């Protein structure tokens, strides 16, 4: 049987983390191991974690907040070093249904039996009100007679996709070995898009209809700096702008890059007309950095760039 390690990235959300862990340990297909990566929480999370008594649970405390990108990077690396055949990755606000993992594994087995390669499998995500969220992008590759190929996989209960999020994504060990890790220097917003586009360059990922999770997002809807009211979140928008331009440069045509940059210029003008000078400055910084940003891909055997200290397991320095 394949070794499946669940990885949960958490930061200052102790209540959601406990719900997530409870759902992980209620799976019909039991995880062989569970890893929690605490991104330097400064609330009561560390105390809660130190008191947990779940079996096969390993907890790592990062010495500083290195963003979602750095946290996911560390989580994939840790699970790989623990010998995982599959890494089941998610944020702490994801609540899988009891059969979520089993459905992912069964879909992988079905695809394997039919000789279909897959970069990853991902659950179907819903809000607590039942609306679909975090929808992946359907793979648009054509077959030999010029038609999109994705409907042929429907007989297996899956649809081929490329861009996706890390909301209950099952990544095979072979994908990490071939394509490396998420780019930690992206910090936040867009690292999952870049990674899933990278690993589906040659073979698709698949969304599994029967595997369902609830995503308890604190902020609803699409990120929009114009309507953003949170000072805490506002400072991160430069990463959103920068990373979006970087990903577009890497995976889309120059025409699309120019379009995105023109939209950002228009947003700056719109913010200036509203005297939202701080927001205009953030977009400007993101735009300039996006034009210059060109990070290297980190491979699974490369030295770790961010140090972390263990809370329960005691060999984190060897990442």
Q: 290 with 38: CB under 8 angstroms? A: no
Q: Domain residues of the chain, as ranges?
A: 4-218+296-318, 231-292
Per-residue pLDDT for the chain (319 aa), expressed as one digit of tens each? 899 999 999 999 999 999 999 999 999 999 999 999 999 999 999 899 989 999 999 999 998 999 999 999 999 999 999 999 999 999 999 999 999 999 999 999 999 999 999 999 999 999 999 999 999 999 998 989 999 999 999 999 999 999 999 999 999 999 999 999 999 999 999 999 999 999 999 999 999 999 999 999 766 667 888 888 888 889 999 999 999 999 999 999 999 999 999 999 999 999 999 999 999 999 999 999 999 999 999 999 877 654 454 544 433 433 4
Q: 94 with 214: CB under 8 angstroms? A: yes
Q: 286 with 240: CB under 8 angstroms? A: yes
What distance in Å separates the CA atoms of residue 178 and residue 212, rounded to the nearest whole number? 28
3-class SS shares of the chain: helix, strand, coil, % to 5? 40, 20, 40
User: Per-residue pLDDT tens for 82-100?
Assistant: 999 999 999 999 999 999 9
Phi, psi of 169 (to 5 degrees): -110, 135
* CA distance readout (Å), 33 to 88, 152, 173, 181, 299: 10, 34, 15, 20, 23
Q: Token pair for residue 231?
A: 């000072």
Q: Which CATH class is domain 4-218+296-318?
A: alpha beta
**What are the counts of helices (DSSP H) followed by strands (DSSP E) for the chain?**
10, 11
- Considering the chain, what is the average pLDDT of its residues? 92
pLDDT value of position 315: 39
Query: DSSP alpha helices (H): ranges in 2-122?
Result: 14-24, 45-51, 67-81, 100-113
């Amino acid at each position: 049987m394949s070794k499946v390690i669940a990885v949960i990235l958490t930061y200052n959300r102790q209540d959601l983390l406990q719900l997530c862990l409870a759902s992980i340990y209620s799976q019909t297909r039991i995880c062989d191991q569970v890893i929690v990566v605490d991104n330097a929480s400064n609330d009561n999370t560390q105390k809660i974690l130190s008191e947990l008594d779940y079996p096969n649970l390993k907890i790592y405390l990062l010495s500083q907040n290195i963003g979602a990108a750095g946290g996911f990077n560390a989580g994939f690396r840790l699970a790989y070093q623990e010998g995982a055949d599959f890494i089941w990755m998610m944020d702490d606000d994801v609540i899988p249904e009891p059969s979520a993992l089993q459905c992912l594994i069964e879909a992988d087995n079905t695809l394997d039996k039919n000789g279909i390669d897959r970069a990853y499998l991902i659950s179907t995500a819903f809000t607590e009100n039942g609306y679909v969220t975090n929808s992946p992008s359907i793979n648009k590759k054509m077959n030999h007679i010029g038609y999109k190929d994705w409907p042929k996989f429907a007989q297996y209960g899956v649809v081929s996709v490329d861009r996706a999020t890390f909301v209950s994504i099952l990544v095979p060990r072979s994908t990490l070995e071939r394509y490396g890790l998420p780019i930690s220097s992206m910090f936040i917003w867009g690292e999952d898009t870049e990674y899933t586009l990278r690993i589906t360059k040659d073979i698709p990922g698949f969304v599994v209809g029967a595997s369902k999770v609830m995503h308890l997002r604190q902020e609803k809807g699409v990120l929009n700096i114009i309507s953003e009211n949170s000072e805490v979140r506002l400072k991160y928008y430069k990463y959103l702008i920068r990373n979006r331009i970087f990903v577009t440069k890497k995976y889309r045509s120059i025409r699309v890059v120019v379009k995105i940059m023109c939209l950002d210029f228009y947003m700056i003008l719109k913010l200036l007309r509203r005297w939202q000078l701080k927001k205009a400055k953030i977009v400007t910084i993101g735009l300039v950095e996006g034009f210059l940003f060109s990070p290297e891909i980190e491979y699974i055997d490369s030295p770790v760039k961010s140090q972390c200290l263990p809370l329960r397991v005691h060999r984190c320095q060897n990442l």
